Amino acid sequence: MVSSEMNIVTGSFGYTGRHITQRLISAGKKVLTLTGHSDNGSLFGGRVSAAPFNFDNPSELVKSMRGADIFFNTYWIRFPYGQETYEKAVENTRILINAAVEAGVRRIVHISITNASSDSKFPYFKGKGLIEEAIIHSKMSYAIIRPTVIFGPGDILINNIAWLLRRYPVFAIPGSGDYCLQPVFVEDVADMAVNCACQEKNLIIDAVGPDVFTFNQLVSLIAEKVGSRACIMHLRPGLALFLSKLLGYLVRDRVLTNDEVGGLMDNLLVSPGPVTGKMSLAHWLTENKNIVGSGYASELQRHYTY
């Protein structure tokens, strides 16, 4: 890629998209972000221009994308809320893909999830599978990156486990807790995205870190790092989800979703393939034990308060 090339990134002011954007800017690329937070333009010192998603006005979307070489797509919803449903998120993503094709974008780098499948019984994983199929059948060359749980500064899931462990005397694990996950560092995901953008061939790779934990081990590790003395107990998944709903009223968020629990318990957040991320969560937690979980990270606040 030459430095004058323009790249489109969804969510440059969000989480994964922010790290991808940082790399592109450092390499001298121009970035236009599609976002619901276009008022955050001062981040990156004004070096990122912003346009709204315009899902209901695809011709504007095409205009925003015209001239771009690569489209980094992170857009997705963590859970249905109000008028936002997984079906609508799939449809919106199709609109993004079609607009990119019409605008002449050469390559898409798409952030999916491990074990995405259009046959999945979990709507999150099914929606992601449908989008992968749409990308594979589009006219763009593609790199599909499939992360497990992403951790790093500003993450939601690992941070909020730490927050709960710091704050409450009891922590509930859904079911036996002997299902596994293989967290990946956000900087590793961003490195993979930018490296894959430079390649020509179509790729599908899992973004998975070097540590595989059972959920029991993960919770114990985080508890140890943040000095929690919470009593860790096991509850039926339905009861754990119900309690997370009650907690959600307190923190005004959706703390945990059916698909997160189901996906975890079905071992969908581990990869049968090679390790592709470098940073170990255990190491990162040691380095960040004083800050991880010091505040609650709210998905609803991030995406529904503008």
Ligand X SMILES: NC(=O)c1ccc[n+]([C@@H]2O[C@H](COP(=O)([O-])OP(=O)(O)OC[C@H]3O[C@@H](n4cnc5c(N)ncnc54)[C@H](OP(=O)(O)O)[C@@H]3O)[C@@H](O)[C@H]2O)c1
CB-wise, 62 or 113, nearer to ligand X? 113
Q: Which of 52, 44, 47 is nearest to 10 (CA)?
A: 52
Backbone phi, then psi, for 299, in 5-degree steps? -65, -45
Subset of residues 144 to 183 that bind ligand X, contact rule: CB under 6 A: 147, 149-150, 157
The residue among 151 and 171 lying less far from ligand X, judged by its C-beta, is: 151
Alpha-carbon gap, residue 12 to 40, rounded angstroms: 9
Is there binding between residue 77 and ligand X (CB under 6 A)?
Answer: yes
Among 8, 15, 262, 268, binds ligand X (CB under 6 A): 15
Decide if residue 256 touches ligand X (CB under 6 A).
Answer: no
- Region at 11 (left for phi over 0; alpha for psi -120 to 50; beta for the rest): left
Residue 172 pairs in a beta bridge with 233
Task: Report the nearest approach of ligand X to the CB of residue 114 (Å).
Answer: 7
Cβ proximity to ligand X, 103 vs 300, nearer residue: 300
Q: How far is the CB of 182 from ligand X (least distance, A)?
A: 11
Size, binding site for ligand X by CB under 6 A: 23
Instruction: Return the CA Rg of the chain.
Output: 19
CA distance 237 to 215: 13
Q: Is there binding between residue 84 and ligand X (CB under 6 A)?
A: yes
Rounded CA separation 33/27 (Å): 16
Please, what is the minimum distance in Å from the beta carbon of residue 58 to ligand X?
A: 16
Strands 141-147 and 213-214: unpaired
Would you say how long the chain is, in residues? 306
Collapsing DSSP states into helix, strand and coil, what is residue 33? strand
Taking the least distance from each CB to ligand X, the nearer of 234 and 280 is 280
Q: Does 257 bind ligand X (CB under 6 A)?
A: no
Q: Shortest gap between Cβ of 92 and ligand X (angstroms)?
A: 8
The reply on whether position 262 binds ligand X by CB under 6 A is no
Residue 184 CB, shortest distance to ligand X, in Å, is 8
Only segment of 75-83, 100-108, 161-169, 215-223 that touches ligand X (CB under 6 A): 75-83
Using CA atoms, how far residue 146 sits from 13, 45, 78, 114, 271, in Å, is: 21, 30, 15, 5, 9
Residue numbers 100-119 binding ligand X by CB under 6 A: 111, 113
Sign for the pseudo-dihedral over CA of 270, 221, 239, 76: negative
223-250 core/surface letters (b: 16 or more CB in 10 A; e: else): bebbebebeeeeeebeebbebbeebeee
Report the distance separating Cα 97 and Cα 101, nearest Å. 6
Residue whose CB is less far from ligand X, 133 or 242: 133
Question: From the list 7, 8, 16, 90, which residue makes contact with ligand X (rule: CB under 6 A)?
Answer: 16
Dihedral angle, C-alpha 135, 193, 75, 271, nearest 10 °: 80
Considering the complex, state which of residue 62 and residue 150 has its C-beta at the smaller distance from ligand X: 150
Q: Does residue number 129 form part of the binding site for ligand X (CB under 6 A)?
A: no
Tokens standing for 53?
């998603």
Out of 37, 107, 126, 254, name the contact with ligand X by CB under 6 A.
37
Nearer to ligand X, 14 or 210 (CB): 14
Q: Is 255 in the site for ligand X (CB under 6 A)?
A: no
Q: What are the residues binding ligand X (CB under 6 A)?
A: 10-11, 13-17, 35-37, 74-77, 84, 111, 113, 147, 149-150, 157, 302-303
